[in-house]
Amino acid sequence: MVVDSNGNSARMGRSDFIIKSGLLISSIPLVALTRGFKSNLYNYRVKHVNLILPNLPRSFDGITIAQISDIHAGSLYNLDAVTKGVALLLAQKPDMIFFTGDLVNDFAEEMDDYLPIFNKLSAPLGIFSILGNHDYGDYHFNRFHFNNKHTSTKKENLVNVKDIHRKLGWQLLLNESKEVSLNNEKITLIGVENWGVNNPHNYGDLDLAMSKMDPSSAVNLLLSHDPSHWRAEILPKYPMIDVTFSGHTHGGQFGFSHPDYQWSPIQYAYREWAGLYQEKHQSLYVNVGFGYLDYPSRLGILPEITIFHLKNKV
- DSSP symbols for 50-113: EEE-TT--GGGTT-EEEEE----TTT---HHHHHHHHHHHHHT--SEEEE-S---SS-GGGGGG
Residues 227-240 pLDDT 10s: 999 999 999 999 99
Q: What whole-number distance in Å separates Cα of residue 160 and Cα of residue 135?
A: 10
Asked whether residue 4 is assigned to any structural domain, the reply reads no
Q: Is the pLDDT of residue 22 over 80?
A: no
Domain count, the chain: 1
Average pLDDT taken over every residue of the chain: 89
**Which of 99, 64, 65, 290 minimizes the C-alpha distance to 191?**
99
Average pLDDT over residues 70-91: 97
Confidence label for 140 from pLDDT (cuts 50, 70 and 90): confident
Residue 214 in any domain: the answer is yes
Domain enclosing residue 40, as ranges: 14-311
- 85/237 Cα distance (integer angstroms): 37
* Cα distance between residue 313 and residue 189, in whole Å: 21
* 149 confidence band (pLDDT: 50, 70, 90): low
Q: Which residues pair with 129 in a beta bridge?
A: 99, 172
Is residue 206 a part of any domain in this protein? yes
Distance (Å, whole) CA 255 – CA 261: 11
Share of the chain above pLDDT 70, in %: 84
CA distance 249 to 66: 18
Q: Is residue 1 part of a domain?
A: no
CATH of the domain at 44: 3.60.21.10
Write down the pLDDT at residue 26: 44
Please give the DSSP secondary-structure letter assigned to residue 14: H
Mean predicted confidence (pLDDT) in 219-230: 98
Strand pairing category for 261-263 and 256-258: antiparallel
User: If pLDDT is split at 50, 70 and 90, which confidence band does 294 have?
Assistant: confident
Residue 3: inside a domain, yes or no?
no
Determine the straight-line distance between the first and last CA of the chain, rounded to whole angstroms: 14
92-121: average pLDDT: 98
Among 303, 311, 314, which residue's Cα sits nearest to residue 67?
A: 303
Check whether 79 has a pLDDT greater than 70. Answer: yes
Answer yes or no: is 140 within a domain.
yes
Looking at residue 43, its amino acid is N
